Structures are given as structure tokens and as C-alpha cells.
Amino acid sequence: MSEVTREQIDTVLQGIQERYLEKDLVAANMVKDVEIKGDTVFVHIEQNYPSGGYRDELADEIKAKLEAESGIAKAEVTIEQKIAAHTVQKSLKRIEGIKNIIAVASGKGGVGKSTTSVNIALALAADGASVGMLDADIYGPSQPRMLGISGQPQSDDGKTLEPMMNYDIKAMSIGFLVEEDTPMIWRGPMVTQALEQLLNDTNWGELDYLIVDLPPGTGDTQLTLSQKIPVSGAVIVTTPQDIALLDARKGLKMFEKVEVPVLGVVENMSIHICSECGHAEHIFGEGGGKRMADESDVDYLGALPLDYTICQQADEGRPTVVADPDSKNTELYKEISRKMSARLASKGKDYSTKFPNIVIQNT
């Protein structure tokens, strides 16, 4: 048998498409090491987003194709998950320990943004990432209930807060600090200051992703986040309804103006399937989220159904991804979270921590 070359191995790897990055392995810069020893090739792949079960599927595909097409007898494939920090707004610096902050926004209320946020966060965690959740809705915090967390956060030093924890998610919300039925009768500056404190005075530790569940609209809170909080990317949640799409477009344009990349659009409540007869109906219209994504030249991350169980599970403090991990709905949330994190992985990386500090001394 003639000796197999690195070029032959690369040719096979170029023929393997990475599902979520939508590039071949070589073009995606995922091949970190190739070693040929006799009739065995050892390939080390680096995946820069959490992909859960797809990682093993991809490893099996690489192994099978190398053994079938490269002329090698045996292939050993390892895939390492290595999530990088990505660039934020030019005027801001990344928060120590938090690699990426992703804002989940909607132009209008009632589109299921908080339910989508928590399930995306749980999907990222299920796929192997370290994840936090910041509930930025000061007037109507819903994450404490959705995450099934009660009680108040502790402060070991009297200055900073320890995040609350459930389902491997670190969480912080104004809802942990006030009674559930207490209204927050605050003006804009108090709200934005509270949001900054919740972010900066929480001991988040090391996080791959901090998901920020924004309140609806394009007002003070959203502007504060885009001007003072280092965000790596944003996701827009909408329904197919024209009135929701109008407001969702405003949110998308706001992020574009403040130089926060929009990672994609999620269409929630896209279709309703009757639990009695199985009839499918587009109650809020059809395809609006996809059209909006196409018109705005951003990615369409996926559609979620109008399903009573999703709402019920969130209200009970056990969102779909943890309540029913093998369900079709959970798979939809995982597809959306993988597409979202893969889009972020293709953006510019933050190398600021790699640069040395220059210190000038008089000697």
C-alpha cells in the first residue's frame, strides 16, 4: 500500500461539511492537528461552539470518510470543544470571566421572548457550555419563576451578590430581590442603574455565555445595554404576525446602529397543531420571521410552535429543555442554540487579553 499524504487527508476533510458553521472542516479552520503513523491517521478537531450530540455524529462521519476515501486503514478522531470570547462594541471591554454576552430581544411584548431565552440558555448548557442568565426586565421579571428558583441571593462581602442556581444555570434577576407581586415604580435612570448593578455586582465566575433576557421595546434599558454592556451578539424573537414584525424590525435596526451583530431571528408561535385532531394552523400568519430575516440580511435561526406544553412547563419552573429533554420541541431549541452559537463563532474573536500591558518606568 502506498504511503498516504497529508494532502490526501486534507482533500477528504474538505469534503466534509460542518452542519452549523455551514463550511467544510478545513475552511472553518477546525482541523488543528493531523498525524499519520503507519496505517493510522490521528485527527484533532476543534469545535468553537457547543454542539452536544452532534460532536459524536461529526466524529463518526470524519472517521468513516477517512477510512473509506483516503487510503488509510484506520482513523482516530478527537473533537475538542473550545469556546472563544468574541468582540464587543468598540468603546467597551469584555467583562472578566464572561466570554460572550448575548442579548435576546423583541420589539414588542407577548411574543414568548422570555420562554425562548430560558430554553436557549438551557439548550446551551445541555450541549456542554457554562451559561448564565441575566433577567434584564426590571418591571416584569419572569426568569425566577421559569427557572424554578425562589429565595434571595447571598452576599458574602456585603458588596457583591452570589448568583442563584438551578439546572446548571447561574441566574440573577430583580425578581430575587423583591416580592413577586411588588410593582417596580421606577423611572428610567433607576432602571438602567439597577440593570448595570445586577450585571456588574454579581459574581458570575467563568461563563461561556451570559444570556440577557431584555424587556420588550427599544427604550432606556435597551440603549443602556447597547452602550454600556459589552455584547457579542443579539437574537430577535418575533411571531409571524405583521404587527409583531414591525416592532421586531425596530429592535433589529437598533442593534445594527450600535454595532451589535444580530446573530439571527427566531420565529415563535409559528404554527399551532391541535392536540385533539392534529390539524395544523398558522394562527398568526405564515413565514413572517423568515421574510424579515431575508429582507434584513440576517440568519433565520428557526421556528417554534404555539404549544400549550411549552407555556405550561415554563410556568411550572421546568422549561421544556429540562422537562422533556427528548421531545421534538427540545430538539428545536437545541437547533436554534447551535445555529446561534455557530454564527457567533464565525464572528471576530476578542484578543485583548493576549496583548501585553506596556508599563513605562523612570529608571
Bind-site residues: 107-114
| CA–CA separation, 184 and 181 (whole Å) | 10
Q: What are phi and psi of 148, to 5 degrees?
A: 65, 35
DSSP three-state, residue 356: coil
Give the angle subtended at the CA of 261 by the CAs of 347 and 351, to the nearest 5°: 40
DSSP three-state, residue 222: helix
Are 164 and 151 in contact by the 8 Å Cβ rule? The answer is yes
| CA–CA separation, 81 and 31 (whole Å) | 12
| CA–CA separation, 324 and 153 (whole Å) | 28
Helical residues (DSSP H) of the chain, grouped into ranges: 6-14, 54-69, 113-126, 143-146, 188-200, 220-228, 242-257, 288-296, 308-315, 320-323, 328-345
For strand 131-135 and strand 207-213, is the pairing parallel, antiparallel, or unpaired? parallel
CA–chain centroid gap for 139, Å, is 24
Nearest to 137 by CA among 164, 109, 161: 109
Are 329 and 218 in contact by the 8 Å Cβ rule? The answer is no
For strand 169-173 and strand 131-135, is the pairing parallel, antiparallel, or unpaired? parallel
Which 8-state DSSP code applies to residue 256? H
Q: Helix 328-345 and helix 113-126: axis angle, to 10°?
A: 80
Q: Indicate the burial class of 204 (C-beta count within 10 angstroms; 0-12, 13-18, 19 or more).
A: buried
Which 8-state DSSP code applies to residue 161? B
Are 267 and 239 in contact by the 8 Å Cβ rule? The answer is yes
Annotation: binding site for ATP: 107-114
CA–chain centroid gap for 263, Å, is 9
